[in-house]
Structure 1
């Protein structure tokens, strides 16, 4: 079971790595849902952190519909962040009609220059999640879809996430559940849905607050909970 943790700073990333995270999603401005972090932060983190660093590519929080100037900024950021040590990118783009914007997605995948890509929770704003999945499954570079099943909390979308997990089998895409999971709920949720990757932000921070320090006890509790899941039972 893959355990991904949001980091807001190099210190966050190092702490999460020491206390059980398998992978980092590095973002800035979590209060706006996560925006592109600084190249310097990624360079510092890559030099000191042994686990993979997946970096958010999102220029603003207004929407997931991007202008040409947005695209130019995203592509420029990807080049700099790859040089700084990013192992993968976290991105997404939608049309005004809330379908996957394939024209912009192809350009972003080209800019990723061979690095793997997670399609982020823009997915949850798509008009039809199953149709969006089928579109994304055509792109081998997309290795992960981060989703709460179209709901604010993944806990309220177990049926949809289970359907997406079934759809993903044999495609090369991992469905990663995030939003609303807690150390107390993650094991039962994973058993019910079959997900083999989970994503935590506020759920592993002190008091469940978005910008609070990461809590070693909460990290350990998630690691213990998912460590007891039997993949054969999923």
Structure 2
């Protein structure tokens, strides 16, 4: 199985350059404050008109990782609008007041919709990580969990993430490596069976969120992931 390279995009220009560089999937976001917020449905439609890549907009309207009934209604409206605009999947993740994966909220938000989705970095804010892994495995449509193995980044969480994968190799099929991923970490993750990788400012010149995605930087990551994936195949 080849690696899936996912790129965060904020515009149609970003999307076109990511596709030209060899990306497989795009996370579509709006404002970048406090991580990432939901884009306007018209942005999803514009990007859809410019690329054939798999699109997953973020479903998140406010700070934090909890929600309530009023916001949930707005979020369901966004999900419907995104799918109508051509999105292929979604990125979302919510925790309850105890810091556990909020399976009830997620089920309610996705009820009636049929699409694959990724659990966001909200996962790394869960208080009981083993319990969080048990919870997400029962969520319908989930095919990825964005994680750095820590609430901060892969530099601090890589060892814990690799230890978890040694104890539970099947979890590798869900891991989407995220959290300021650097090239030197890819061989370790690939050897552990990770096949999904998420990039943000790593593919923008100077690492600046104000710069457009750079095709050449995306291509360099594409080549790295392909080489490491082939190396692991017997």
Common fold by TM > 0.5: yes
1:4-28 CA distance string (max 9 Å, x none): 0000011111110111111000011
Equivalent in the alignment of 1:150:
150
Aligned length: 229
Q: What's the offset of the Cα at 1:165?
A: 4.0
Q: Matches of 1:198 and 1:5 in 2, distance apart?
A: 9
Q: What's the offset of the Cα at 1:172?
A: 9.4
Q: Matches of 2:4 and 2:26 in 1, distance apart?
A: 11
User: Which region of structure 1 is more displaced relative to structure 2, 156-165 or 24-33?
Assistant: 156-165
User: Tell me, which stretches of 5 or more residues in structure 1 are unaligned?
Assistant: none
User: Which region of structure 1 is more displaced relative to structure 2, 73-82 or 173-182?
Assistant: 173-182
Q: What's the offset of the Cα at 1:198?
A: 0.6
1:176-217 CA distance string (max 9 Å, x none): 0111113x3243342354311110001111111223211222
Equivalent in the alignment of 1:200:
199
Q: Is 1:161–1:177's contact at 8 Å kept on the other side of the alignment?
A: no
Quickly say closer, same or farther: Cα 1:227–1:201, change in 2 above 3 A: same
Equivalent in the alignment of 1:215:
214
Q: Matches of 2:69 and 2:169 in 1, distance apart?
A: 32
Equivalent in the alignment of 1:138:
138
Which structure has more relative contact order (CA 8 Å, sep 6+)? It is 2
Quickly say closer, same or farther: Cα 1:186–1:20, change in 2 above 3 A: farther
Q: Matches of 2:25 and 2:232 in 1, distance apart?
A: 20
Q: Matches of 2:217 and 2:192 in 1, distance apart?
A: 22
1:47-70 CA distance string (max 9 Å, x none): 221110011000112x11112111
Equivalent in the alignment of 1:123:
123
For residue 2 of structure 1, the aligned residue among 1, 4, 12 is: 4
SS state of the match for residue 150, structure 1? coil
Q: Give the TM-score taking structure 2 as reference length.
A: 0.91
User: Which region of structure 1 is more displaced relative to structure 2, 5-14 or 192-201?
Assistant: 192-201
User: Tell me, which stretches of 5 or more residues in structure 2 are unaligned?
Assistant: none
- Runs of 4 or more consecutive aligned structure 1 residues displaced over 6 Å after TM superposition: none
Equivalent in the alignment of 1:47:
49
Q: What's the offset of the Cα at 1:97?
A: 1.0
Equivalent in the alignment of 1:224:
223
| 1:21 aligned onto 2:20 | no
1:155-176 CA distance string (max 9 Å, x none): 321233224545361x795210
Alignment of 1:54-93 (within 5 A): 54-61=56-63, 63-93=64-94
Q: Matches of 1:190 and 1:100 in 2, distance apart?
A: 24
Q: Is 1:116–1:141's contact at 8 Å kept on the other side of the alignment?
A: yes
Quickly say closer, same or farther: Cα 1:73–1:117, change in 2 above 3 A: same
Quickly say closer, same or farther: Cα 1:209–1:72, change in 2 above 3 A: same
| 1:190 aligned onto 2:192 | no
